[in-house]
Each structure stands twice: as C-alpha cells, then as structure tokens.
Amino acid sequence: MKNIPFLLIIIFLQTSCSNSQNKIDQNPNKYSNSLNIIIQNTSQNSESLWENNKIFIIDPKNFSKITYNNITIIHIDFLFKNIIIETTMRQDPKAYLHKAIVIALLMNNDFSDFDFNSQYSNFSRKEPLLYGQVLDHHGVPVRHQWRANKFADYLLKTKLKTYYMNINQVWSIKIPLKFDRSNKRAHKYLNFIYKASKKYNIDKSLILAIIEAESNFNPYAISSSKAVGLMQIVQNTAGRDVFKMQGKLGSPSKKILLNPEKNIDIGTAYLSLLRDTYLSAIINPISKKYATIASYHGGVTAMLEVFSRNQIKAFQIINHLHPDDVYQLICKRHSSLESRRYLFKVYHLEKAY
C-alpha cells in the first residue's frame, strides 16, 4: 500500500479503529498537538483537509490519517453527513477519483476490503459500510460494484469541482450521506425495545444500535461462540449475570434467548448491569457509555486492561481522561481488533438512530 499515494480519512464506522497501528503514527508526539484540530468545517471548506496535512486525528467523530504523499483524500464525515473525495494527481485525476469513489462506496462494515492495490477484486458480498446512507443518481442504495462504477461516472460528469490550494490544483467530489434508520426489520421489535429502555433506563437508540451490530435484527442468530438471539447473549456469562441480578438461579435457556422480547430484556439488563455495577466507578457518563459498549462486546476485564492491568488504577486513569481520549484509546489499544471496530460501529449506529 505504501506505493499508492492515497490519504484515507474515515469517520465512522471510525475504519477504523482497526488501523490504529499505521506507519504514519510512528511518532505520536509529533502529532499530539494536533489531536484537537478536528476538521469541523469540512462541508463548507474542504481546503482544511489539505492545510492540516501530516496530522493523525481520531475521536468519536473523526478518524483522520494523512499521508506524506498527500495525493488523494477520502473523507467520510458522519458529523456533516457527506463524503469528500479529492486528488491533486496531475495525470488522469478522474481515474484516481473514480477508484476512490468506488472504494468509499463498497468498503465493508469491517473495513477488510480497503485495499488500493486491488482492482476491487477483494470486495465481497458483505453489506457495505455506507449501504443505505448513499443513494445514487437514481435514488437507489449502492451495494454492488457495477452500480458504484455507474454512480462514479455520473459524479465525475456532473459534480466534479476544482480549486487551487497554494500552487496545486485540487479535483473534488462531494457526496451527501442520507441518515434514515427506518430499518423495517426493527419495527416488529420496537415495543419490546421501548419497554426495556424504560425498565432499565437505557437509551432506545443504543439498544437498536447494539441489536443491528450484533444480529442485524435476526432473532435466530447463533454465533460460533454460542451467543444467541437479537442481542447475542451468551447463556453462561451475560445470561447468568442477569439472572443473578434478577434473583434467579442458573442461566437462561436457548429457548428463552430465542424469544425476541426476553432476549431484548436480558440484553438491556446486561447493559444496565455493566453501567451501574461493573463500571460504576467511572464518573463521566460519556466515558462510561464508551466503556459499556466495549465491555458488552469484549468483556469488562479486556476493556479495563486498555488503561491498566490494575483495575483500580484503570478506573482512576479513565476518570482523569477526556471522554474523547477514552474512546480513542479503546479504539487504538484494545486487545481485540473486533472490539475496536465494535465501539466505532455501535457509536455511529446509535447516532444514526
């Protein structure tokens, strides 16, 4: 990848968090003063993407990685609801933009297909990260390569703009993001979600986000780790803990967990158990939410070990950090790559809902 002069800026469904050990961040002190320079005016002033070159930024709203070659930018901005794709490549800039557009539209939820060296050969049949949030010129969600190619052709013919940054000509495309979480699969479970939300004082949007991230609203989902149902409850861990909290013996049966209402109740109860008991020592509610989401997926111990192997010290460190730094460290240092991505994904799904 080092031979391809591209810059990737992924906000969202943060790339994510998974790319935390990139070569550009070999000297974090060099960029530490820039961590608070978040690109907040991107939708109005794309020049800021080029002015802040050689900055590594990651927070709940932004994941910015700027390469030294500084040739092509993909910026997926969930705050301002747009994608900005730009290049300063002098030879055939439209070809570079075309490839960048297709990659942005088709990359997977787990970011595994982000490979500029390929000719899209790695794009799988997984649902793209931005599926449903980008509509093509016919108003149709972009899911397959042929539609992404046609949409890229259309954008380059009708939406291409240029401007100059210092002496360099910049070729630019902006694509609006559509945020409509009217997931029809979720509708049949809304009454159960509202009931559990009120019972355990957990935001409905967080419950919806976790269900989508865990099972994509499939009530019969069973994972290889024997997690069951909508909220992917493991009987002998989260299930047992919730039963104990509720004064019950043993753990929920598979039959119980395959019941959508009971699954949602148990999953939401576990979120409240994490928040109010296991993570009660975290003072800031936003930091606590990040810790709760990461712990729901990867366990409390693994989440705390991001900060210290001594749990008391870990809580102390968390309480002295800004919530954005808590988020950043979980995304960059969690021992599980999947848990890093999970926090990013759930955070942005919750915002969308």
Count other Cβ atoms within 10 Å, centred on residue 53.
Answer: 13
Of 116 and 343, the one with more pLDDT: 343
Structure tokens at 165: 């940054």
How does pLDDT run across 78-128, given as a tens digit for each residue? 555 778 888 888 888 898 889 888 888 887 654 444 444 444 445 555 667
How does pLDDT run across 222-278, given as a tens digit for each residue? 888 889 999 999 999 999 999 999 999 999 999 999 999 999 999 999 999 999 999
Query: Bridge partners of 163?
Result: 170
Structure tokens at 75: 């910026």
Residues 6+ apart with CB under 8 A from 278: 295, 300
Query: Bridge partners of 169?
Result: 164
CB of 233 closer than 8 Å to CB of 263? yes
Q: What is the mean pLDDT of residues 27-44?
A: 28
Res 79: pLDDT:
56
How does pLDDT run across 205-225, given as a tens digit for each residue? 999 999 988 988 888 888 888
Q: How many residues would you count in the chain?
A: 353
Domains of the chain: 6-176 (no CATH), 184-352 (1.10.530.10)
Res 150: pLDDT:
96
Q: Is the pLDDT of residue 60 over 70?
A: no
Largest CA distance in the chain: 72
Res 57: pLDDT:
37
**Cα dihedral: 210, 78, 275, 236 (round 10):** 30
Give the residue among 37, 13, 34 at the shortest CA–CA distance from 25.
34
Pairing outcome for strands 6-10 and 72-77: parallel
- Torsion over CA: 325, 29, 27, 86 (sign): positive
SS3 174: strand
